[in-house]
Structures are given as structure tokens and as C-alpha cells.
Structure 1
Amino acid sequence: MTTGSAGDGWQQSLQAGPLIAAAVVLLAASVATVAVHRLRNPRRRHGLALWWRLRLRLYPGAGFARRLELYLHYGLPAARKVVRHARPSLRGWWKRHLVPHHEIALFLGWAQGWIFRMRTYATFEDGVLCLAPQKEGKTAHLAGRILDAPGAVIVTSIRDDIVGLTAGLRGEHRRVHLFNPDGFGTWASTVRWSPVDGCHDQATALRRAAHMVAAAETGGVSDEGFWTNQAAMVLASLMHAAALERLTMEQVYAWALDEDPTPLKILARPRPGLDTDRAAALVRRYHTLHVRTRDSIFLTLRQVLRCMDDPAIARMICPAPGEGLDLDDLLRRRETLYLIAGDDVSPAIPVLFTTLVAEIHHRARQLASRRPGRRMDPPVLFVLDEAPEVCPIPRLPGWLATAAGSGLVFVVAGQSHAQFRQKWGPEGARTIWNNAKAKMLFGATSDPEDLKTMSELCGEIALPYWETSVDGSGRRLRTRRWENVPVLPPEQARRLPTWRALVLRRNATPTIVRIEQIWKRADYKRWRKNGEVPLPPQKPSAPTTASSSTPLELPAIRRGPRLARPWHVRHTNPDDDHQ
């Protein structure tokens, strides 16, 4: 009896097994159907949605560059063609193929793939424009380009975290300098620079004064163009007089405020080999102008020289003769210069940064003119992060057009295209946009114009679909038709995952890349663990009694595995802080 009951239960289990298996299969099919429905792209009607394709590192979809085009237009072959004339020292075929990739190109990111990842590059003749909202990975990308740069690097930033990420590794091979006139963040300035140095040449004085006046905010003055020109000429004459007597910006500031006759006396002295008559005439004319005219010029000069109101900033730009930053050595020795501003940018900072970067650009062009191919080899990299806010160089649109022929590489970064229109005007912003041959546009922006621009640059593609209709006899007919749809609709451009960016280079088909996260690099991990690396000194907790003529040095700081620097304490989770 017991044996029979057990046998009946076993037979019932065998009969119920197929039913349970069928139920499981139906449930799995239902879940898969719902999942596919949620994951698919409604505009494309087939395949996974773009967000999921990017997360899974798959080909983004029709309309984006495939692997062959990535290799030909975004890969190293295109960079090697440019390097043949962009770097005269690498003209040999074997040299171009044996050197590391960062010696011949700018890495942009990985386009697709898990095992065979497609690396994308911009050449040294492509100016790069990065538009990214905050916390979308822009800083991490720029830090990687700083570490990879084979030549001198000039960096502007609105925060000092980029110094903590890159200064140690850059300092292992070349000297690192920090210019932080506002005293923002953890690190103090290691160098000072005077706009007066070199102004014994009248052309240098005119050039620097023009950049200083153009970068100052003088929007409240009527007939702004006329007064800025007059102020630039007067300021150039005062700086020329100060340079002749080896004075500093402190004297220039005093002369501008008090209409001191001292500069006129200095310029009136006979000097063999120098013609100071024109500068003296400008100062004399300024002193004899009608009081209202002179006041208008004075207001413009007051805006330009407001940096002297802050004693800390004034000290940074008034070094003793011979103690200022040597720009030629900076370029020849392939050193790194960081120009750091605070979150609340002082009105004086754009004036100083614009003048200093413009002078470095001029010196680089002068050095390049005397080298083979009239180029800097290796090229000088200008990483202008938050350029519209801290370094609004008036001539930047033109620089991007001529930089490729001089061995100068620009990576210009901002938060939106509206920032560039505000600082350079519609025409200037359009020129910057056109002259930047490689563009990296990050997602998560809410600006409809930027999203529309991203969509329009990617274009449209024709996709097939079936249209069902009924004829007169009641038969159902299926007709294949084609529909034009955007490659990257604006709503999908906004939803690009973090660490992803739309890349467009010259006339190549667009692609979407996964950018580099610097803290995942092998060299950065090695640096974090051990080694002696030259870094900017920490700011003293109390005011020091050192004289203004004491030179600032870069000490070697020893760090063991457990010793954390101040930025390490702040950035315990780099994935959160550097997005």
C-alpha cells in the first residue's frame, strides 16, 4: 500500500514536470519581451536603445562611424600623416611607428568594444573644443591630456584639483610651476611674473597693454572702443617707462592714479639706441587732455589695474628684477605652468591670465620661427579650462586658425556654447567653433540650443519600415517605405551616460567615446603608492615673514602609502568628485 502510493506520487510529479517547465519558459519569454520592449529604441524600431548600447560598449548604431572609419579617421594612421610635417624630429617612418601614441596624437577616448577597444585620437593640428556641464568628466579628460603632453604645457583652471591630479607625475621629469595669485585652494604660488618685464621694447609694451585692456571689463564706459585704445596706449607708455628704470607694476599703478610727471621725465632722457619720443608724447598728451577726457581714460585704466588693489595679487606681479618667471626657459625645457583661479573669479584674474598666456603664445611663436619647419617640436599644449571665465583671450579665434602651423595645440574647454557667445560675441564664438577641428560634446546639458546643435551635426539617416494598407477587395497589403530620422535626437543627446562624449573630427562620421578616467591609469596608480615627486608647497597656516624677494621653490615631498596630501583627503572617492 505504501509502495503504491509512492509510485503514484512519482508518476504525478513526472506529469507535472513539463507543465512547470512550460510555465517557466513562458514567464521567461514574457520578462524578455517586456525587457526588450523597454530597452529598444522607439525611433529605430529595432535593436537596443542608444543608452544601453553605450553602457554595453556596443556599436552606437546606424549613422555613427564604424570600426574601419574609426581606424582611418580617428585612429593613428591619420595622426601619423600629420606628424610627418608637424614634428620634424619624427620624419622617419620607423620613428612614427615606434614612439608611444601620446607623442604623435591627442587621445580622445574609446569608441566601442570590450576586448578590442577602438581608441580615437585627434592630431596635433586639430584644435579641440570641449563643452561639458559640471561633474561630467571634463577635468578627468583634461588631466590625461596634461600627463600625455610631450612638450611644455600651459594650464588654466577654475579649481586646483587638476594640480593635485597631474603635478606630481609631470614633476617627475620636468619642473612644475604654479601661479595662483588669488591664493585659492591648498597650494600657494611658486612663481611670480611681472607684466613690466621686457617692456623696454616698445612693441612688447604695446602688445601687453592691449591684452590687459581688452580683457578688462569696461562695459559701463560709453564709446568703449575709443577709450580702450587710448588707455592701451597710455598704459603701454607707462609700462615702457617703468621697464627702462627696472621698476615694477607698483610704480605704474601709482603713476596712473596720480598723473605723476616721473614717467615723462624718464622717457625724456636721451637713451642711445632707443626712441622714446613717441611714448613721451603719449604721456604728455594724456596729462594735457581736457579733464573729462582724461577722466574717461582714467576710469578704463582703473578697471585694468584693479589687480593692484589686492596686496596678495600685487605681490605676485611685482617681483624684483630677475626673479620673475622666465617664459623662454619654460618653453625650451618643456615645463608645466598652472594658472589657478578661485570659484568666485576676481575681476583681476582674467586680465592677468590673458596677458600671461598671450605673452607665452607670442614667445612660442618667436621660438618656433627659428626652428626646423618653423614649428615647436614637441608641440606646446595650451589647456584652457573654463576659458570664457578665467582666460578670455580676445584673439583666441585667430590663434586657433594659425596654431597648427607653429606647433601649438589648443584644448579649449567650457560649460556651454552660450559662454563663448557672451565673451567673444556671436561671430567670435562661431569662429572658435569652426577653427576647432575636433569637438567633444558631453551630455547632461539642458541647453536646447546645444542639444539641437549636437543633433544637427550628426545628421539624419533613412530607415525602412512596413506600411500596412487594405485594397478595394479587402486584402491587406504591406509596402516598404523609408523615413528620415535623426542619428542622435536631442533627448538622447541629453541622456548620454556620464563619462561619454559625442566626438566630431573634421569631415568624419561622428562617434561617441568613453573618456579616460585618470585615476584608473597605471602611472597614476603607481604615483599614488610611492615615490618622491616635486609638488607645489602647501600654503602656510600663518603669514610668513619672508621678504618679497625670496625665491619660491618646488620642494620634493615624500609620501608613503598612508600619507595623504590635502587633496587626497578631499577626494577620497574620485569617481564622485571628478565627474
Structure 2
Amino acid sequence: MTRAVGPRAGFTPHGSIGGWVLLLVGWGAVAVFALIWAGAWLASRMFGGRVSDFGTDFVVDVAEGRTATAWPGTPTPAVVVTAVLLLSVMLAVVVAVWWLIARRVLDPLDPVAALADNPGLASLMPKVAAQKARGLRPALGESVAPCDIGLPLGILMHDGPTLYASWEDTIFAFMAPRSGKTTCLSIPYVLTAPGPVIATSNKADLWAATASLRAADGAVWLFDPQCVTYQQQAWWWDPLRDLTTVEDAHRLAGHFVLTVDDGQKRDLWGPAAQDLLCALFLAAASSGRTLRDVAKWLDTPSVPTPVELLEAAGFSLIASSLRGAQNGAVETRDGIYQTARTATKALRDEAIIAWVTPSSLPVFDPYGFACGTDTLYLLSKSRSAASPLIAALTDCTMRAAERRAERMGGRLDPPMVVCLDEAANICRIADLPELYSHLGSRGIVPVTILQSYEQGVTVWGEAGMAAMWGAATRKVIGAGVDSPRLARDLATLVGQHDVPVRSVSYADGRASEQISLRRQDILEPAAIRALSPGSALLLATGGRPALISLLPWYGSRDADRIQACRERLERLITEGAAG
């Protein structure tokens, strides 16, 4: 009869445990008698007397209790105490050495051990990453500070080095709520960035933890029309300011239409509503009008004013398209206009539209922002309110950074970090998958954080999500991945390894042991789902997957400063809420 005991690594690589046990027993007995002799020798020096030479006679005398022959003239209690002390010291040394060795000798069944040998991660190591940073940013010189190397991804598990994403990488992260998105990614990345930063969130914690520290390097711009932080409006932005082409107007309209909840209705009326908004935005921009006028035009489908403004500005073709929409069948026209009104519900909220219409406050300049080291925080509670304006402002600022990079020779220096937390909810940029393919080469590092793969599919579709996944050079999968599909795909990407399986056979009253190898997943889907908070699976282009420990802000050397900043701004939020 043969029974497989299960996957288990042997004590030795070839399972020869019996021979090792015999060796340990034999030499262990020799070591014990050697310790007794050493104890007797030390006692004889302290209390007088002498000790016989170490050898077979000494061992026989001790074993038979002839202590007077083994150490004549030396007190036996002194020998016992000394030998016990020596044994304690030896055991302490052996345990310490064993512990050090055990830390470095990894269990072959451990996925960390299976993924440890990964030459593809060489480009993420500190020295190589620093060298790459000097190549991407010649102004750094020979001395590169840790914050200039790149964005820290985490520590390679089992006391490995810190791994860095370079300033030409694009990062994609999946992390469940309360699994460290803000603590381990957003806050460290905002504080690490050497240049301008765009950060989106639906909560105030990111702003509270970083705003004061970022203010030391540049201006802080807080876009908070829904009073997430309870701070007063300090500036405004004109979405129509640089809108001079049909393409620009179409992009702006797309940010609004993408927030319409009903996917089937959007498929039917969405493109037409986007064309309508494109025409109205262009009419307002070319005539010096504002988004308030756009909202009024949407309420009166037959008003001829936008058509006349477009023709006067030279946009005769889009003026003709708008006239056709106004003069079409009433049911079709009303459906298009209603979809457009639903998409632009933010323009009906006075608290929100005040941020994007002229006032006496300073105006935000996206191109000037890309030239400095300022920080732009974009906050919204839900995608149905200010989220289209957040997407539009993010997109406009990134395109301004691209123009700035082109004027600098192709790359933005210092680079811009765009941390898009809750991207699928409050910052839906329709062509973000396409942007991922080239933003990194411009010195713009996007960090898109989603809760699940399916969340991204609802925004960008299967093709768009697959394109973004493929274009991201660094992918971080944290705790709480509950998507069976994603977990299975990740298990496939991680790969398989050989696992030793011990089999015991019983025949003719004798037992024999055999060790065989079996191929199995390094990380099963259930293990990927069960990743502990603070750990993550890293997929880097050109290398095998790796397990990393994330770097929360409270473990950094600036933790005290961050905590003080956080407490001070949280008090401001509390005071604002109370007032």
C-alpha cells in the first residue's frame, strides 16, 4: 500500500533524513562529553585538582560514574555547574546561528521563495533605478536623493531591497477599500513627487495628510465644490479658456457624457448628446460666454443663438450639425437634449458651477501649473456631481504638461505625478487607456487606483481595460481582490513551480519513503485573494511577478511631520463642519 502524505519539503534536498539524524546523534554525544571535559578543566583551574586527558577512557569513566578517576581532586559540583553553564552558552549560540540560517534558507513551498529569484527586477533596484533617474533627468547630477529615484513600490519580501518605479513608468493598482490605498500609495506618492502633482480622491484624508507639506514646495490648489474639506473656494478655472477646436470641445463634452448612469441609453443617445455639447461648448468659447449660457441653451432646444455664434466664428459645419439636431424629429431631439442635460447636471448646481465661471478670485492656469511644483487636489463625493469637471481639469492639465514637455525636448523635468484614486468614480477620462501608452515617455507618471477589474470595465469597456492593463508597466495588486476572474488570471501570470511530494509505502511489514515532484501554482487564486493588508503582488514589465511589502506613510522617517500636518488640517475640517 502506498499513501501520499502531501506536499512537504524534506529536511534535506534529497530527503536523506535518516543519515543526518545518525550524524547528529553521534556527534552530539561527542559534543556533550567534550563539554563535560571542558567544564572539568575549568573547575580544576579554579578549585585545584586536575583532569584526565579527553578520550575513550575519560568517556568510560564519566559514563560509569568514576568521577575521582576522571577529574581527581576537583569538586564534582563545580564540574557540573561549569558544564551546565558551558552547555547553556553553546545552546544559545546554536539557536542564534540556526535562526539566522532559517531566515535565509527559504521554504521551497513558500511562494515568496519561489518568486525570490527574479532577475527581471534588477531595473527596480535602488542603484539601477538611481542610474536610470540620472539618465532621465540630467539636471540631477551624480547625487540622487531617494525622492528623486522614483516612486517607491514596496520592499521585496523576506528583507529584500526597496523597489522603485522610474519616471517613465505608468502604474496601475487594484486595492479594496481600507486595504492601504491612501496610506501606502497616494500619500507616499504625493509627498515623493519632485514636481507638480495631481491627486484625486472622494475623501479629505489625502489632502489633510499632505497639503501643508506640499505647500513648502509650491502652491496648493484645492478643487472642492462639494465641501469635502469644508474649505472656502479660493480660485476658479475656465474650461472654455483654451477651447479653440472641435476636437478640444469634443473631449470636454466626453467627460460629461461618460457620467451618464444608464449604459444602454448612453449607447443610443450618448454620441448624439456628446456632439450637441461639443457644439454648445464651442459656441460659448468662441463668443466669450460661460457654462451658464450652455446650461440655458440646453433648456431651450430651438434657440438659434448657438448656431449663429458658431457660424460667426467660422465653424459652419458644426453649426449645420447643430441646426440639424434642433430641427430633427421631436422625440429624437428631446432624447438627445435630455441626455445632455443629465450629463451636465453639475451645471445646475450653483455651488459647483461657481468654480468654473468667472469671479474675482485667482484663475487656475494649467500650463503654468505644469511648469512648477504645485499640487492640485480634486475632491468629489460621487460621480454624478462634480466628477465630469474633475475629469476635464485633470485631462486639461495633463495635456498642458504634454505641451510643456514637447517644448522641453520631449520630457517634463521635474516629472509630474498624477495620482488618480477612485478614478472609475470621480475621474472618468474616456481615452485614459490610450494616454497610458505614451504619458510615461513625456515625464508624466499616472497612478490609477481601482477597487476591482470589473470597476474599470464599466468605464472603459473590456477592450479599453485590457489596453490599459497592457500599457501599464507596473501593476500593483493589493489585498481584497474579490474578482474570481482576475485572481485566476493573476495565478496564471505568476506561474507554477515544482513541489516535493512525500509518499510512504507499506509492504511486507516494511515502510519506505519516496520524494517526487509535482507542478502546481505558485499562488493559487484563493491565496491571491487572501493577501494580507500591507502586502501586494507586483507585476513589472520584463520580469516575473514578485511579492512586496507596501510602504505606509506612518513607517517613514517623516511620519511625525505627516501626522502633525494631518491633525492640524483635520481640526480645520472639524471647525468648518461645525460652523
TM-score, normalised relative to structure 2 = 0.74
1:261 corresponds to 2:304: yes
1:518 corresponds to 2:568: no
Partners of 1:65 and 1:510 within 8 A in 2: no
Q: What does residue 460 of structure 1 align with?
A: 496
| Cα offset, 1:49, TM superposition | 8.5
Mapping of 1:180-195 within 5 angstroms? 180-195=224-239
Per-residue Cα deviation, 1:246-296 (whole angstroms, up to 9, x for no partner): 221001110121132222333344xxxx52323432333233222122112
Q: Specify the code of the residue in structure 2 equivalent to 1:327.
A: P
Q: What does residue 539 of structure 2 align with?
A: 504
Partners of 2:112 and 2:547 within 8 A in 1: no
1:64 corresponds to 2:115: yes
Q: Considering only aligned residues, what root-mean-square deviation do their CA atoms show, in Å?
A: 3.3
Q: What does residue 118 of structure 1 align with?
A: 161
Per-residue Cα deviation, 1:161-214 (whole angstroms, up to 9, x for no partner): 100011111111111101112222443443322322222444432332233323
Return closer, same or farther for 1:478/1:442 CA change in 2, 3 Å cut-off: same
Partners of 1:178 and 1:338 within 8 A in 2: yes
Q: Secondary structure at the match of 1:299?
A: helix
Per-residue Cα deviation, 1:33-64 (whole angstroms, up to 9, x for no partner): xxx9xxx9xxxxx95996xxxxxxxxx64311
Q: What does residue 406 of structure 2 align with?
A: 369
Alpha-carbon distance in structure 2 between the residues aligned to 1:233 and 1:301: 9
Alpha-carbon distance in structure 2 between the residues aligned to 1:516 and 1:139: 11
Return closer, same or farther for 1:122/1:407 CA change in 2, 3 Å cut-off: same
Report the number of matched residues: 477
Alpha-carbon distance in structure 2 between the residues aligned to 1:133 and 1:298: 37
Return closer, same or farther for 1:522/1:294 CA change in 2, 3 Å cut-off: same
1:485 corresponds to 2:520: yes
Per-residue Cα deviation, 1:438-475 (whole angstroms, up to 9, x for no partner): 1111124444334333433321110223333356x665
Alpha-carbon distance in structure 1 between the residues aligned to 2:426 and 2:562: 30
1:414 corresponds to 2:450: yes
Q: Specify the code of the residue in structure 2 equivalent to 1:87.
A: R
Alpha-carbon distance in structure 2 between the residues aligned to 1:497 and 1:520: 17
Alpha-carbon distance in structure 1 between the residues aligned to 2:319 and 2:500: 76
Could you list the structure 1 runs, at least 4 aligned residues long, displaced by more than 6 angstroms after superposition: none
Return closer, same or farther for 1:111/1:475 CA change in 2, 3 Å cut-off: same
Q: Secondary structure at the match of 1:513?
A: strand
Candidates 234, 250, 255, aligned match of 2:292: 250
Candidates 352, 361, 378, aligned match of 1:339: 378
Return closer, same or farther for 1:113/1:329 CA change in 2, 3 Å cut-off: same
Mapping of 1:157-168 within 5 angstroms? 157-168=201-212
Q: What does residue 324 of structure 2 align with?
A: 285
Partners of 1:241 and 1:263 within 8 A in 2: yes
| Cα offset, 1:75, TM superposition | 0.6
Q: What does residue 545 of structure 1 align with?
A: none
Alpha-carbon distance in structure 2 between the residues aligned to 1:294 and 1:111: 58
Larger radius of gyration: 2
Return closer, same or farther for 1:428/1:253 CA change in 2, 3 Å cut-off: same
Q: What does residue 396 of structure 2 align with?
A: 359
Partners of 1:62 and 1:487 within 8 A in 2: no
Q: What does residue 102 of structure 1 align with?
A: 147
Return closer, same or farther for 1:487/1:205 CA change in 2, 3 Å cut-off: same
Alpha-carbon distance in structure 2 between the residues aligned to 1:463 and 1:485: 7
Q: Secondary structure at the match of 2:227?
A: coil
Alpha-carbon distance in structure 1 between the residues aligned to 2:361 and 2:351: 20
| Cα offset, 1:323, TM superposition | 4.5
Candidates 135, 145, 161, aligned match of 2:189: 145
Alpha-carbon distance in structure 2 between the residues aligned to 1:243 and 1:61: 57
Return closer, same or farther for 1:519/1:80 CA change in 2, 3 Å cut-off: closer
| Cα offset, 1:298, TM superposition | 0.6
Q: What does residue 319 of structure 1 align with?
A: 358
Q: Secondary structure at the match of 1:469?
A: strand
Return closer, same or farther for 1:125/1:527 CA change in 2, 3 Å cut-off: closer
Q: Specify the code of the residue in structure 2 equivalent to 1:105.
A: G
1:448 corresponds to 2:484: yes
Partners of 2:259 and 2:384 within 8 A in 1: no
Partners of 1:465 and 1:483 within 8 A in 2: yes
Q: Specify the code of the residue in structure 1 equivalent to 2:254.
A: A
| Cα offset, 1:132, TM superposition | 1.2
Alpha-carbon distance in structure 1 between the residues aligned to 2:310 and 2:544: 60
Q: What does residue 548 of structure 1 align with?
A: none
| Cα offset, 1:398, TM superposition | 1.0
Q: What does residue 35 of structure 2 align with?
A: none
Return closer, same or farther for 1:207/1:450 CA change in 2, 3 Å cut-off: closer
Q: What does residue 439 of structure 2 align with?
A: 403
What percent of counterpart residues are identical? 26
| Cα offset, 1:567, TM superposition | 5.3
Q: Secondary structure at the match of 1:402?
A: coil
Alpha-carbon distance in structure 2 between the residues aligned to 1:569 and 1:403: 35
Q: Specify the code of the residue in structure 2 equivalent to 1:368.
A: A
Q: What does residue 348 of structure 1 align with?
A: 385
Per-residue Cα deviation, 1:303-343 (whole angstroms, up to 9, x for no partner): 2211122221121222249953211111111211111112x
TM-score, normalised relative to structure 1 = 0.74
Return closer, same or farther for 1:290/1:524 CA change in 2, 3 Å cut-off: same
Alpha-carbon distance in structure 1 between the residues aligned to 2:573 and 2:279: 49
| Cα offset, 1:482, TM superposition | 0.5
Q: What does residue 39 of structure 2 align with?
A: none
Per-residue Cα deviation, 1:517-573 (whole angstroms, up to 9, x for no partner): 2133333423655xxx8x9xxxxxxxxxxxxxxxxxxxxxxxxxxx84435998xxx
Alpha-carbon distance in structure 2 between the residues aligned to 1:262 and 1:444: 53
Q: Secondary structure at the match of 1:330?
A: helix
> Which deviates further from its counterpart, 417-426 or 279-288?
279-288
Alpha-carbon distance in structure 1 between the residues aligned to 2:138 and 2:420: 26
| Cα offset, 1:104, TM superposition | 3.0
Q: What does residue 75 of structure 1 align with?
A: 125
Alpha-carbon distance in structure 2 between the residues aligned to 1:569 and 1:323: 23
Q: Specify the code of the residue in structure 1 equivalent to 2:256.
A: M
Return closer, same or farther for 1:431/1:164 CA change in 2, 3 Å cut-off: same
Q: Secondary structure at the match of 2:437?
A: helix
Partners of 2:416 and 2:444 within 8 A in 1: yes
Q: Secondary structure at the match of 2:210?
A: helix
Partners of 1:200 and 1:241 within 8 A in 2: no
Return closer, same or farther for 1:268/1:431 CA change in 2, 3 Å cut-off: closer
Return closer, same or farther for 1:390/1:467 CA change in 2, 3 Å cut-off: same
Return closer, same or farther for 1:564/1:328 CA change in 2, 3 Å cut-off: closer
Structure 1 regions of 5+ residues with no counterpart?
1-13, 26-31, 41-45, 51-59, 536-562, 571-579
Alpha-carbon distance in structure 1 between the residues aligned to 2:238 and 2:355: 8
